[in-house]
């Protein structure tokens, strides 16, 4: 059973205490001899959060993952004085993991620590970083209008969308019932609660394998349930998984039902179904970690921008330009193929450079209807 209410979440790197919508206190801790946990305070301007103010900027960056912060670094150096809105997950997906071993220049770095460094870098270059969540976006005319959960309205001549991706769920009724009470999509957030317990992990990608490995720090046994007999994770991770005596893979199985107690709400086990025979097997466990992939966080733009492949924002080839001129998309929001921190950062760089060129050409187009792209959207000439 999980001893805290749903909105009091312990993350490996931080404790989030959500006081109310959009108002968050972030603190860090580092237990002696425990896993690495970095200290981080919520950045910059929480100021003006409760006031309905309007902020005008040349460039608004939405999202604080590797794509957003990199866009901030480049846009600041181009003297665009960007504003970056962090969203509900400051630092993005890498704050939900521990070791990152494929960030160039660091043989091993803790995800949350890397993101604190990226934030500091963007800030040092001149990016204004704001703890707010964009709830509504009007792309119909220039300047674009973004409404913040804080009440602030942001007006921007150009936009970098870097809202990343969010964990997918299986969609089972019983999964929903126990979400936050034994069912989780974040091992580094919730693994701590399962010391000495048996746990199952669902999925066969990098996230599932990494989560299974991480959970062996706490659990007495981890069963990795995968619908095929082949993992799509990196070879080095598969190798570690297979060598770990606490992990038992269960091939050709799908989660069928999570069951448990109602009062208090808590998981007691899962029923899994063989994908070929349909046979149901019961696995007693206290925790269920769903790691079946991520979907693009496209809520703000799914009705206004062109999307494909299950909601990823379409960008022009070799570019971060979207179907609306002046709106650029970077990172996992647009990338259905690579979905890595380094590729997201690369796209953040591209988006800032493209926004800079766009603003140099169209900075004075205030009031222009963006559905009439005359003069917009034409390929930027080399050297322009």
Shorter beta-carbon distance to ligand NAP: residue 64 or 188: 188
Restricting to residues 144-173, name those near ligand NAP by CB under 6 A.
Answer: 170
Name residue 155's beta-bridge partners: 56, 145
Spatial distance between the Cα atoms of 57 and 83, rounded to a whole number of angstroms: 7
Q: From ligand NAP, ligand FAD, none, which one binds at residue 112 (CB under 5 to 8 Å depending on kind)? A: none
Binder of ligand FAD out of 43, 57, 152, 163 (CB under 6 A):
163
Q: Which residues neighbour 224 within 8 Å (Cβ) at sequence distance 6 or greater?
A: 200, 201, 203, 204, 208, 209, 212, 241, 247, 248, 249, 250
Task: Verify binding: residue 88, ligand NAP, rule CB under 6 A.
Answer: no
Residue 285 among the catalytic residues? no
Task: Verify binding: residue 293, ligand NAP, rule CB under 6 A.
Answer: yes
Binder of ligand NAP out of 83, 85, 133, 292 (CB under 6 A):
292
Binder of ligand NAP out of 90, 111, 205, 346 (CB under 6 A):
205
Which segments of 44-172 does DSSP mark as H helices, in order? Answer: 66-77, 111-125
Nearest to 118 by CA among 57, 175, 71: 71
Task: Verify binding: residue 206, ligand NAP, rule CB under 6 A.
Answer: yes
Q: Which residues neighbour 380 within 8 Å (Cβ) at sequence distance 6 or greater?
A: 354, 357, 358, 361
Q: From ligand FAD, ligand NAP, none, which one binds at residue 86 (CB under 5 to 8 Å depending on kind)? A: ligand FAD
Shorter beta-carbon distance to ligand FAD: residue 275 or 343: 343
Restricting to residues 216-275, name those near ligand FAD by CB under 6 A.
Answer: none
Residue 186 among the catalytic residues? yes
Q: Is the peptide bond before 143 cis (omega within 30 degrees of 0)?
A: yes
Least Cβ distance, residue 269 to ligand FAD (angstroms)? 25
Distances (CA, A) of 383 to 26, 80, 327, 363, 380: 44, 19, 21, 18, 8
Q: From ligand NAP, ligand FAD, none, which one binds at residue 254 (CB under 5 to 8 Å depending on kind)? A: ligand NAP
Q: From ligand NAP, ligand FAD, none, which one binds at residue 133 (CB under 5 to 8 Å depending on kind)? A: ligand FAD
The three-state secondary structure class of 7 is coil
Least Cβ distance, residue 374 to ligand FAD (angstroms)? 30
Spatial distance between the Cα atoms of 93 and 332, rounded to a whole number of angstroms: 10
Q: Give kind and range of the element (H or E) at residue 353.
A: helix 341-362
Task: Verify binding: residue 188, ligand NAP, rule CB under 6 A.
Answer: no
Binding mask 328-367 for ligand FAD (x = CB under 6 A): ---xxx-----xxxx-x-----------------------
The string of DSSP codes covering 288-350 is EEE---EEE--TTTTTTS-EETTTEEP--TTS-B-SSTTEEE-GGGT-SS---HHHHHHHHHH
Restricting to residues 286-315, name those near ligand FAD by CB under 6 A.
Answer: 297, 300
Nearest to 68 by CA among 127, 108, 126: 127
Q: From ligand NAP, ligand FAD, none, which one binds at residue 232 (CB under 5 to 8 Å depending on kind)? A: ligand NAP
Residue 190 among the catalytic residues? yes
Least Cβ distance, residue 241 to ligand NAP (angstroms)? 12
Spatial distance between the Cα atoms of 197 and 234, rounded to a whole number of angstroms: 27
Binder of ligand FAD out of 37, 60, 65, 260 (CB under 6 A):
65
Nearest to 190 by CA among 96, 294, 293: 96
Binder of ligand FAD out of 164, 191, 205, 326 (CB under 6 A):
164
Which stretches of the chain bind ligand NAP, using CB under 6 A?
A: 102, 170, 202-208, 210, 227-228, 232, 254, 291-294, 339
Please identify every residue annotated as catalytic: 186, 189-190
Which stretches of the chain bind ligand FAD, using CB under 6 A?
A: 62-68, 85-90, 92-94, 96-97, 100, 102, 133-134, 162-165, 207, 210, 297, 300, 331-333, 339-342, 344
């Amino acid at each position: 059973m999980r001893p805290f209410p749903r909105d009091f979440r312990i993350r490996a790197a931080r404790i989030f205490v959500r006081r109310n919508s959009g108002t968050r206190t972030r603190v860090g801790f580092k237990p002696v001899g425990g896993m690495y946990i970095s200290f981080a305070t919520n950045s910059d301007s929480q100021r003006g959060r409760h006031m309905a103010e309007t902020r005008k900027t040349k460039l608004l960056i939405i999202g604080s993952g590797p794509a957003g912060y990199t866009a901030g670094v480049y846009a600041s150096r181009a003297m665009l004085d960007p504003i970056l809105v962090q969203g509900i997950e400051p630092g993005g997906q890498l704050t939900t993991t521990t070791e990152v071993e494929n960030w160039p220049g660091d043989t091993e770095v803790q995800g949350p620590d890397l993101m604190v460094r990226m934030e500091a870098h963007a800030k040092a270059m001149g990016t204004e970083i704001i703890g707010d969540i964009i709830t509504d976006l009007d792309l119909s005319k220039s300047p674009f209008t973004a409404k913040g959960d804080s009440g602030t309205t942001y007006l921007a001549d150009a936009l970098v969308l870097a809202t990343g991706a969010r964990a997918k769920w299986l969609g089972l009724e019983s999964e929903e019932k126990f979400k936050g009470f034994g069912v989780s999509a974040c091992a580094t957030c919730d693994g701590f609660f399962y010391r000495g317990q048996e746990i199952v992990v669902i999925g066969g990608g990098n996230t599932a394998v990494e989560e299974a490995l991480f959970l062996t720090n706490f659990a007495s046994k981890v069963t990795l349930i995968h619908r095929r007999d082949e993992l799509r994770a990196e070879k080095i991770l598969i190798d570690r998984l297979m060598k770990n005596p606490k992990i038992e893979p269960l091939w050709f199985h799908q989660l069928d039902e999570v069951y448990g107690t109602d009062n208090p709400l808590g998981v007691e086990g899962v029923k899994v179904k063989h994908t070929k025979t349909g046979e149901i097997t019961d696995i007693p466990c206290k925790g269920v970690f769903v790691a079946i992939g991520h979907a693009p966080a496209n809520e703000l733009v799914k009705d206004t921008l062109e999307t494909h492949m299950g909601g990823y924002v379409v960008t022009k080839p070799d570019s971060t330009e979207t179907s609306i001129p002046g709106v650029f998309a970077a990172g996992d929001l647009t990338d259905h193929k690579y979905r890595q921190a380094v590729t997201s950062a690369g796209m953040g760089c591209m988006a800032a450079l493209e926004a800079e060129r766009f603003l140099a050409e169209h900075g004075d187009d205030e009031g222009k209807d963006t559905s009439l792209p005359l003069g917009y959207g034409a390929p930027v000439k080399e050297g322009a």
